[in-house]
Amino acid sequence: MSNLTRYDPFSMEPVSDLFHGLFRPLRGIATGDDTPLLDMKLDVTESDTAYTVKAELPGVDKKDIDVKIDGNTVSISAMVERNKDLKEGERVLRRERYSGVISRSFSLASEVDEATAAAQYQDGVLSLTLPKKAASTQKRLQIS
């Protein structure tokens, strides 16, 4: 008796890689030159008095980072630039470094005291210290 085998048209290595690549989950919206958007990774921790945010922004200039606080909403945006200059006779074989604006917004459970918030950028990591606003004390009205 002969063994039956299923024909797999994608079994050839180059063709298989091509089609499997098409069905991978999308990593982000593509820009005009089909470069995936940079993903800003965040760590947010909380203590009794403040939030601490660490955002990875490798290769970004400190002057190109913008942080906005509105109540309990924090927005971080940065301009990422890459050198697109090619020397004569060079051609791009693969381009994975993103160029453009990236941003990330998120909400916290408590409002942030913008006046005492602090930011520091070192070694590609933006560190934010966001003190919580003091809870407003309720005032009891005397009824006359």
Residue spans per domain, the chain: 29-131
Rounded to an integer, the average pLDDT of 68-95 is 84
* Residues in Cβ contact with 13 at an 8 Å cutoff, skipping those fewer than 6 apart: none
The 10s digit of each residue's pLDDT in 25-44 is 444 444 444 434 457 899 99
User: Percent of the chain, pLDDT > 90?
Assistant: 44
13 or 27: which carries more pLDDT confidence? Answer: 13
* Residues in Cβ contact with 49 at an 8 Å cutoff, skipping those fewer than 6 apart: 131, 132
Model confidence at 108, pLDDT cuts 50, 70, 90, reads very high
Average pLDDT score over the chain:
78
Q: How far apart are CA 34 and CA 31, in angstroms?
A: 5
Find, among 80, 138, 67, 57, the residue nearest to 106 by Cα. Answer: 67
State yes or no: pLDDT of 16 exceeds 70: no
The answer regarding whether domain 29-131 maps to CATH 2.60.40.2580 reads no
